[in-house]
Structure 1
Amino acid sequence: MLTLVFSSLGRRIARHPRLTVLVWVVLTAVGFALALFGVQGEGLFDRVTTGAPSVPGSPSARADEILAENDDSGPEVTLLVRGVDPADTAVADAMTDVNAGLVAIEGVETVINPYVLPGGVEDEAARPLVAENGDGFLTVVTLRTDLEPERSDAVTARVIQDFEAVPSELATAAPDAAGDATGLVASNGLIIDAITTQVQEDLTTGEKVALPVALLIMVLVFGGFLAAAMPMAGAIASIGSGLGALFGLTYLLDVDASVVNVVTVLGLGLSIDYGLLVVSRFREELHRLIDAGDDPALRRRRGDGVAHEALVRTMATAGRTVAFSALTVAISIGGLMVFRPDILRSVGAGGLAVVLIAVATALTLVPALLAFTGRRLARPGLLGRIPGLRRVLERTADVQSDEGVFSRLAGRVQRHPLWVLIGTVVVLVVLALPVLGIHVRNSGIELLPASSPQREFVDELAAQYPSSAGPQVLAVVEGGVEDAQAWADEVEGVDGVARVDPAAALDGYAVVGIHVEGGDAGSPEAVSVVRDVRALDAGTEVWVTGQAAGQVDFLDALGERVWWAVGIVVGATMILLFLMTGSVVIPVKALLTNVLSLAASLGVLVWVFQDGHLEGLLGFSSVGGIETYVVALVVAFAFGLAMDYEVFLLARVKELYDAGHPNDEAVRLGLQRSGRIITSAAAIIVVVFTGFVFGELLVIKEVGFALAVAVLIDATIVRLLLVPATMTLLGRFNWWAPGPLGRVQRRLSLSH
């Protein structure tokens, strides 16, 4: 039944390739147009959100809502001046003129710096505004709260323009005291712009690195540019259509800026993977038909009958495999939608959309392009006619031989399967050990590279203006200040608390600022403080927020529904693999090997990014932990990709086993026929993910690196060694299923 569906799809595409290509050209163009220009000038990157992940309805989210509802202050813009002696009278005189100009800007509410205070730099109130090393000062401009958004943006831009001119004005007015003056300007808007701009730059960087290298690998795999260009065309269509789908999702969900890169790189990798499998199988079927001799019935068909028949057979085999593979990936990523955090729901929805687009291009656009090329893919391309390259391409592009590198590797594994099993498990367990010490955190400005002006501003502020830093933990207490202060006195006795600010009234509530020892808002110590503070009995409602509180709520939200997600993904994957193979043993084995592979990749991620190894090589500064949602994303994506390659391999082994080959021979030949595709696809997707490691945003680096490592481990240690070893040891038991289940599977006709 299922085979007939894909065969029929292949025939339809073979008859109407131009229409299929035209539809995808339109969809791709519309997708890119929506992402870049959007609706009414508001494109995708104008609609994405930034900031720490939040959990709707959590205590930290409720505290943030109360604070936002009662915040009557306007937007702020801050200037940090360095290389200046703040006590110099010439500097004070110059800043008097600067302050007058800032106050004169319509829409500015207040201007605060040491020079507006009665005692100037010597005033006690000026201490938080003067650098501890005496080498600079701060100026804070607050805008009026009644400004319309467009007017507020215009006023902010004018203030920033004036701020940027201050260092040169000081250097001119006081060359001895401010000759080396420099300035850093910061605001919430500038931080958001910095993150979204970095996301765009990283996306461009990743594609510039990934696409050319991926094309080169496919040229080696296929022996020419023509065949290699087809999966690449599918990838470009997936990127364009995927960005358009993400734009549409921004009207339904809050889509974080980093989601754009994560989902785009997934769509890029999967579309190339699936296109690679389809094109490779088409060339194999084409060679098989040509070698068997042209059937007169085929020649009588309109156009290239042999190519059309090869396309129908390709869709009935590789098309079915691609559909099964995409289903397993979609289920794995769709499982993220079970969780409460917005960022996981948006990644799940976006990932699901992009997976569907990737499989759609592989099952429609790529076959349509194959229908156009016909028999030409059976002949060597221009590169294959170059004497020096011909022998290389004969090996890398071979789709006909049953003997080769992978069959010989499988033969060696099958001679010592138990030792290979023990060795690979030991290696994977050793790689996984660092995950036992994992610490997750929600980072903010630390996600930006150290060279970013906004990151530099925050680092300088923490180093030279510690007294101006706000509390790491905030508690919103329902009721009056007196009751809140009595509770705050108890908080001072909590381990890890450095000091507690006096309770401040807030329209029916009171706010208590809690400073953590060490000053790291996302450290394990801060997390411990949050849990201990929440455990205190205040006699009324208390909502605790801050970076550590957000981390605690995020992890608690994951814990609430993790078993629902695991149950859905594991159950659906088991059913799909059973329907494909007719075995209840293979799905269990696949799940166990994938768990080992996942643990190993997470262990490497912790060793590199949390423990700080390879900082110089990869260009990042460790924040002492892994981003909370990165762990969830890596588990979902890596599991899906692992099942992707599992389906590629099992489809071939099952096909051979059903054709009458003994188990061990089916495993050996199946690895030979699929190994080239698996390793090539893995090499391409590793390149794609590695391309995003060259970006600057830390969360994108972590995701790209972790997924590249996960695919590398899975496609080598697991797929080429562990799986053949276990399938050899299990023998005919691989294909066992209880009688009633086997009859159901056979009745559904889900085999090739």
Structure 2
Amino acid sequence: MAGLLYRLGRFSARRRWTVILSWLLIIALSGVGYSLFAGTISPSITIPGTPTAKVASELADTLPEVSGGSGSLVFSTTDSAPFTEEQKAGVASLLEQISGFAGVKSATDPFTIDSQLATERQQAVDGREQVLAGQQQLAESQAQLDQLREIDPSNAALAASQAELDASAATLTAQSTQLNLGQQLLDMSTNIRFVSEDQTAALATVQFVDDAFVVPPALKEKVVAATEDATIAGVEVTVSNELVQGVPNLIGPGEIAGIIFAAVVLLALLGTALGAALPLVSALVGIAVTLIGSLAFSGIVQFTSITPLLALMLGLAVGIDYSLFIINRHRTQLKAGTTVPESIGLANGTSGNAVVFAGTTVIVALVALNITGIPFLGLMGTVGAVAVAVAVLVAVTLTPAMLSVAGMRILRTKERRAIGSTEATAASTNAMSMRRAVLTLIAGIAVLGSVALPALGMRLGLPDGSSEATTSSQYATFTTIADKFGAGQNGALVIVADLPESASGVMLLQQQVAIATVIAEQDHVSAVAPIGVPSGGDVIAFQIIPTNGPSSVETEELVHDLRDISPLSTSEGAVSLGVAGNASAQIDISEKLGEVLPIYLAVVIGLSLIILLIVFRSILVPVIATAGFVLSLVATFGGLTAIYQLGWLSTIFGVHDPAPILSFLPVLEIGILFGLAMDYQLFLVSGMREAYAKGAPARIAVQRGLQVGRPVVTAAAIIMVSVFAGFVFSDSSTIRPIGFGLAFGVLIDAFVVRMLLVPAAMTLLGDAVWWMPKCLERVVPNIDVEGSSLERLHAKPDVEDWREPTRELTTSRP
């Protein structure tokens, strides 16, 4: 591989403009593909086959009128006074307009529903009074009839009158039974309101034809635009999270600040503006190809909005770092007197070889996300892997071409003048003392263990309106609903009850009351009401309002309790219950991701051990590296839990409402941090192995390798942290914890684990760290990751005129 990359570097240097124009052509072709085949990107996350998905499918088949996606609109009076009739009319007009949109099933006026509910409750009261009056009248008639019977027992007309009275009594009894059942249902639904008690807020639901996960974003935008254009004097209209979830901005102020900081680090390390610009250009080219090219397939595969953002984050970080490794090696060789073309080839064959191998580990870890069996997560991993693969290709082709264009200008003037005038002197290297190694290990593990402690209470979930910016419409909607209608109204559930046989009339009412009573008796239930029965009468749909919000522990317990009581035993037979709704879907997704987390972690740890065993031909180096990865991972989980779930340092990170950790973030962290940790392990420990192979004592070799690799790895890690940290202050509640998790994870792994704990552990083990059984030595391939053999083969400087594009290379192929 080193020889191939050497020749590729030399070719890219000679045919520099051809290579540069080829990448520009690839970007253009990607743009053509995007314009022709791109589809819509969904903000929703779904996993097929979950209990919620199955119930939603049944609901769509049996009760289409209550199925489909939905979103909430909240109307609030700006003066905290009750709604006027003019304001109510304005609300009704807006909802009528929205109801007419193609794809919207309904948008019912909350004042109309509130009036209907009040009418039903009054009718129930009036009906009971009428029944009581009828029963009183029947009692009086019965008394008169009994008196007449005593006077004239043989009167045949009295029997007919008695039959009429009995029939009337039976009718009243049936009416009373029906009224009592209806009253019980009304009592259990008391807390379901659409207009607040103080008449200052109203809640409307927009019901879509399509399922929540496939409602076109354009339709949601149309609904939101209608609310923004509405001019209802004295009324503020806000929308829920389900309506404004769109594709987050790819680049914001935080991201730009991160890139600027990365440029400053590059300038400090490379010394020239030209040198600092090249890694940024390489990263931007890779990102353009990845994002535009992958989104060209969004018309075929359903992309979630987080997918391109993940590709952007990874493409920026690894694109800069991979190019930096090659450029830094090239500059070092130029300062040692190597000619430009030879230096480009050698840098590509040595550091480029390490870049290819490091990138491969990241790609393998990301592609392995497909083994989770979760489509959206597998797609995210695949697109992320494509971003890394493109970054590698750009690094080993475009970077050499741009270095060829730059020529000697990649060095500062002072550095160019010093070429050949000074000789490199070997710095003295002292091994880390055993005492320091022990203290470093103990302190490092203690610190990381302490940081990891909050992870013991980590909960998984998906963001809701409370996670959005406090100035946003969706946050205002979420908090207004919680304040005026109860927190559970934000996480309403739907239960589908499959009856053992069809029912109608009083029998159906009895079934509804029996099922609703059992549901209402469960903990954390605020209200329950039947919302639909198909014509066959064999299914009943109920709406459940929990006492707490959608991401609360109590609501999660309620969903489990409702599923656990199924099937219900009734007088008519067993009734099976299924739970659906946005809150239920989020719980199912989080639990499914929680189930695959240990499986994926085991796969990644296995990959780590195998890859490092092959690279370093050692048993203990892979064990140390993998243990360090696990330490940095759990510490990262601890940091995420402390800040985003427990609310520590909330002011700094803008966490105004702590919530469970993004459900798919731990799995992403495992895959991405594993790949990046292996990058730093490779660049640092390969130098240690090379020093040991050249005869340095084991403990001295550790320090020499650390001295050689530390500057560039430090710069690379700082760049990666700054890029990821730029996303911590994104406008998306989904992106913020991802940015923090990756930035914090890289920070810990690079500066604590790779530069402190790994060298300390290797120092303590001494020669034993490089031990490998004879049986494995014979079967494990010897991979020259750093291209040492290539360096030995090309030890003599190349004197050919590299500016002549048609001259054949005089150096023999390795």
TM-score range, shorter chain: 0.7 to 0.9
In 2, Cα distance between the equivalents of 1:155 and 1:673? 55
In 2, Cα distance between the equivalents of 1:425 and 1:157? 54
Q: Compared with structure 1, are the counterparts of its residues 61 and 110 closer, same or farther at alpha carbon in structure 2 (3 Å cutoff)? A: closer
**8 Å Cα contact 2:489-2:545 kept in structure 1:** no
Correspondence 1:267 to 2:262: no
Q: Which residue of 2 aligns with 1:515?
A: 545
**8 Å Cα contact 1:63-1:544 kept in structure 2:** yes
Correspondence 1:211 to 2:206: no
Q: Which residue of 2 aligns with 1:9?
A: 8
Q: Compared with structure 1, are the counterparts of its residues 315 and 413 closer, same or farther at alpha carbon in structure 2 (3 Å cutoff)? A: farther
- Secondary structure of the structure 2 residue equivalent to 1:589: helix
Q: Which residue of 2 aligns with 1:48?
A: 41
Q: Which residue of 1 aligns with 2:302?
A: 254
- Secondary structure of the structure 2 residue equivalent to 1:620: coil
Q: Which residue of 2 aligns with 1:648?
A: 683
Q: Which residue of 1 aligns with 2:557?
A: 528
**8 Å Cα contact 1:224-1:381 kept in structure 2:** no
**8 Å Cα contact 1:442-1:548 kept in structure 2:** no
**8 Å Cα contact 1:77-1:140 kept in structure 2:** yes
Q: Per-residue displacement from partner, 1:423-464 (whole Å, max 9, x unpaired)?
A: 111111111111111111122333432211132123212322
In 1, Cα distance between the equivalents of 2:206 and 2:735? 33
**Stretch moving more, 522-531 or 370-379:** 370-379
Paired AA for residue 460 in structure 2? V
Answer 1 or 2: which has greater helix percent: 1
Q: Which residue of 2 aligns with 1:694?
A: 729
In 2, Cα distance between the equivalents of 1:114 and 1:150? 23
* Map 1:211-610 → 2, pairs under 5 A: 211-290=259-338, 306-380=339-413, 403=427, 411-412=431-432, 416-466=436-486, 469=489, 472-479=492-499, 482=508, 486-502=514-530, 504-506=532-534, 509-517=539-547, 519-538=548-567, 539=574, 541-558=576-593, 560-562=595-597, 564-610=599-645
**8 Å Cα contact 2:240-2:473 kept in structure 1:** no
**8 Å Cα contact 1:32-1:240 kept in structure 2:** no
In 1, Cα distance between the equivalents of 2:5 and 2:615? 15
Q: Compared with structure 1, are the counterparts of its residues 723 and 478 closer, same or farther at alpha carbon in structure 2 (3 Å cutoff)? A: same
**8 Å Cα contact 2:481-2:490 kept in structure 1:** no
In 2, Cα distance between the equivalents of 1:499 and 1:489? 10
Correspondence 1:39 to 2:36: yes
**Stretch moving more, 331-340 or 728-737:** 331-340
In 2, Cα distance between the equivalents of 1:711 and 1:514? 44
TM-score by length of 1: 0.82
TM-score by length of 2: 0.77
- Secondary structure of the structure 2 residue equivalent to 1:416: helix
Give the greater-gyration-radius structure (CA): 2
Paired AA for residue 54 in structure 2? R
In 2, Cα distance between the equivalents of 1:527 and 1:119? 33
**8 Å Cα contact 1:210-1:687 kept in structure 2:** yes
**8 Å Cα contact 1:609-1:702 kept in structure 2:** yes
Paired AA for residue 235 in structure 1? A
In 1, Cα distance between the equivalents of 2:407 and 2:362? 31
In 2, Cα distance between the equivalents of 1:421 and 1:366? 39
Q: Per-residue displacement from partner, 1:132-177 (whole Å, max 9, x unpaired)?
A: 34434456677999xxx9999789849954774433xx3xxxxxxx
Q: Per-residue displacement from partner, 1:533-570 (whole Å, max 9, x unpaired)?
A: 22223145533224553354335434554455334323
**Structure 2: gaps (5+ residues):** 122-189, 568-573, 789-814
In 2, Cα distance between the equivalents of 1:746 and 1:104? 70
**Stretch moving more, 417-426 or 24-33:** 24-33
Q: Which residue of 2 aligns with 1:61?
A: 53
**8 Å Cα contact 2:566-2:576 kept in structure 1:** no
> CA offset at residue 113 of structure 1?
4.0
* Map 1:98-177 → 2, pairs under 5 A: 99=92, 107=100, 112-113=108-109, 128-137=193-202, 157=222, 160-161=225-226, 164-167=229-232, 170=233
**Structure 1: gaps (5+ residues):** 171-180, 291-305
In 2, Cα distance between the equivalents of 1:736 and 1:680? 31
**8 Å Cα contact 2:551-2:659 kept in structure 1:** no
> CA offset at residue 664 of structure 1?
1.9
**8 Å Cα contact 2:113-2:194 kept in structure 1:** no
In 2, Cα distance between the equivalents of 1:361 and 1:235? 8
Identity across the alignment (%): 27
**Stretch moving more, 123-132 or 695-704:** 123-132
**8 Å Cα contact 2:642-2:648 kept in structure 1:** yes
Correspondence 1:660 to 2:695: yes
> CA offset at residue 280 of structure 1?
0.7
In 2, Cα distance between the equivalents of 1:719 and 1:426? 16
- Secondary structure of the structure 1 residue equivalent to 2:296: helix
Q: Per-residue displacement from partner, 1:700-740 (whole Å, max 9, x unpaired)?
A: 11011111111111121112211110111111112111113
Paired AA for residue 48 in structure 2? P
In 1, Cα distance between the equivalents of 2:457 and 2:240? 36
In 2, Cα distance between the equivalents of 1:424 and 1:76? 48
In 2, Cα distance between the equivalents of 1:159 and 1:15? 56
Q: Compared with structure 1, are the counterparts of its residues 61 and 10 closer, same or farther at alpha carbon in structure 2 (3 Å cutoff)? A: same
**8 Å Cα contact 1:693-1:701 kept in structure 2:** yes
**8 Å Cα contact 1:283-1:378 kept in structure 2:** yes
Paired AA for residue 352 in structure 1? A
> CA offset at residue 185 of structure 1?
4.1
**Stretch moving more, 227-236 or 459-468:** 459-468
**8 Å Cα contact 2:272-2:412 kept in structure 1:** no
Q: Compared with structure 1, are the counterparts of its residues 206 and 237 closer, same or farther at alpha carbon in structure 2 (3 Å cutoff)? A: farther
Q: Compared with structure 1, are the counterparts of its residues 439 and 413 closer, same or farther at alpha carbon in structure 2 (3 Å cutoff)? A: farther
- Secondary structure of the structure 2 residue equivalent to 1:166: coil
Paired AA for residue 337 in structure 1? N
In 2, Cα distance between the equivalents of 1:525 and 1:76? 23
Q: Per-residue displacement from partner, 1:231-253 (whole Å, max 9, x unpaired)?
A: 11111012111212330342453
> CA offset at residue 49 of structure 1?
1.0
**8 Å Cα contact 1:496-1:529 kept in structure 2:** yes
Q: Compared with structure 1, are the counterparts of its residues 363 and 423 closer, same or farther at alpha carbon in structure 2 (3 Å cutoff)? A: same
Report the count of equivalent residues: 691
Q: Per-residue displacement from partner, 1:91-128 (whole Å, max 9, x unpaired)?
A: 31465477568758993787754665897998788993
Paired AA for residue 25 in structure 2? V
